[in-house]
């Protein structure tokens, strides 16, 4: 049983790039929509409204705490068919695709949700002292606590540098290893204090919280987020009917790069080496990107919801 499960209400979650997502997915009555990262259902409510009481909505999430949000969504979804599938979105999309389930619109809203950040006991936030966890699926075996206490200095440095683009990854990794020799890390507050002490004084007062990048890196590593994205994109494309739309919101440059590369390769079709004078593979383009550059939130949206600042939306139509 999850502790302190909040009762959902309409103000719990503000969906990022909401109108831009609606425009990209262009949901029509009677279609099948898949929200592969349901969360608190912010985008789901808007997309379901576009079905106008006719169609099917499949919600996917690995976090069991989404259930009350889904129940509220289902009770207000009108006449559409709804279903909640619990599990990692890559695994569920692969299962759906292998079973021949088709969709007209699929949304991936990556990263951590507001409902997870706002629950200190989940350990995602550096702003509150809590158990060091960060698992999106609380039943997963490995939490941030295991990574911080068991990985060696080089492995920690690699995670902080690769997933967090942390300038002081080496110093922070060394400080963590030194501190855990005295006693293991158990709480986010202990980790924040160690990070602060490890970086130069001017960096502690720079832009953003000094622990932001390390916490982001650990969260990505704990939940294997980049691998999940790499596996989810081909499954989503397979599920889409011709003319179906895919929209992906990313919050990290590595995520955005994966999405950009996937869409670019899908548009190109041909996999022949660049020096081949003519195409011999015969592969045709399988999708068309809706824009060359990612869509970013407006200054008004960022002002109203600062967590939207790093969001990037890319969308495409299946050929």
Bridge partners for 86 per DSSP: 61
For all residues of the chain together, what is the average pLDDT?
Answer: 91
Cβ atoms 105, 33 nearer than 8 A: yes
- The reported pTM is 0.90
Q: What is the pLDDT of residues 175-228, one digit of tens each?
A: 999 999 999 999 999 999 999 999 998 777 766 789 999 999 999 999 999 999
Provide the pairing of β-strand 81-86 with 312-318.
Answer: unpaired
Query: Residue 46 pLDDT more than 50?
Result: yes
Query: Residue 118 pLDDT more than 90?
Result: no
Helix (H, G, I), strand (E, B) or coil at 226: helix
Q: Which domains does the chain have, with CATH numbers?
A: 18-115+225-318 (3.40.50.150), 141-222 (1.10.150.170)
- Measured between alpha carbons, how far is 71 from 171 in angstroms, rounded to an integer? 46
pLDDT band at 307 (very low <50, low <70, confident <90, very high): confident
> What was the pLDDT predicted at 11?
43
Bridge partners for 288 per DSSP: 317
Q: What is the pLDDT of residues 244-291, one digit of tens each?
A: 999 999 999 999 999 999 999 999 878 788 888 888 887 889 999 999
Angstrom distances, CA of residue 22 to CA of 51, 127, 181, 313: 11, 32, 51, 12
Q: What is the pLDDT of residues 140-161, one digit of tens each?
A: 999 999 999 999 999 999 999 9
Angstrom distances, CA of residue 77 to CA of 4, 54, 113: 26, 10, 22
Beta-sheet strand order (sheet of 56-61): 81-86, 56-61, 32-35, 103-109, 240-250, 312-318, 287-289
- Measured between alpha carbons, how far is 118 from 121 in angstroms, rounded to an integer? 9
Q: Which two tokens stand for residue 252?
A: 């990290």
- Measured between alpha carbons, how far is 154 from 305 in angstroms, rounded to an integer? 36
Length of the chain, in residues: 319
> What was the pLDDT predicted at 5?
34
> What was the pLDDT predicted at 125?
85
């Amino acid at each position: 049983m999850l502790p302190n499960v909040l009762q959902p209400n309409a103000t719990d979650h503000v969906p990022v790039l909401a109108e831009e997502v609606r425009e990209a997915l262009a949901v029509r009555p009677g279609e099948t929509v898949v929200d592969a990262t349901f969360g608190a259902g912010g985008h789901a409510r808007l997309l379901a409204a576009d079905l106008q009481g006719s169609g099917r909505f499949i919600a996917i999430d690995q976090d069991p705490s989404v259930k009350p949000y889904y129940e509220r969504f289902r009770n207000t979804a009108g006449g559409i068919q709804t279903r909640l599938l619990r599990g990692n979105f890559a695994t569920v999309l692969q299962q759906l695709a292998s079973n021949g389930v088709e969709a007209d619109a699929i949304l991936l809203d990556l990263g951590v949700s507001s409902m997870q950040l706002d629950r200190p006991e989940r350990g995602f936030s550096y702003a509150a002292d809590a158990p060091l966890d960060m698992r999106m699926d609380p039943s997963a075996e490995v939490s941030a606590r295991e990574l911080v206490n068991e990985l060696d200095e080089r492995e920690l440095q690699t995670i902080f540098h690769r997933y967090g683009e942390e300038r002081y990854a080496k110093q922070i990794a060394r400080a963590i290893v030194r501190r855990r020799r005295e006693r293991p890390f158990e709480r986010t507050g202990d980790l924040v204090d160690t990070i602060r002490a490890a970086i130069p004084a001017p960096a502690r007062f720079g832009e953003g919280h000094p622990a932001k990048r390390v916490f982001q890196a650990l969260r990505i590593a704990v939940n294997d987020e980049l691998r999940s994205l790499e596996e989810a994109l081909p499954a989503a494309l397979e599920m889409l009917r011709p003319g179906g739309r895919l929209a992906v919101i990313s919050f990290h440059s590595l995520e955005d790069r994966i999405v950009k590369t996937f869409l670019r390769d899908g548009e190109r079709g041909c996999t022949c080496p660049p020096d081949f004078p003519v195409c011999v593979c015969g592969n045709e383009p399988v999708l068309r990107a809706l824009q060359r550059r990612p869509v970013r939130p407006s200054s008004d949206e960022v002002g109203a919801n600062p967590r939207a600042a790093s969001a990037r939306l890319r969308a495409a139509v299946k050929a």
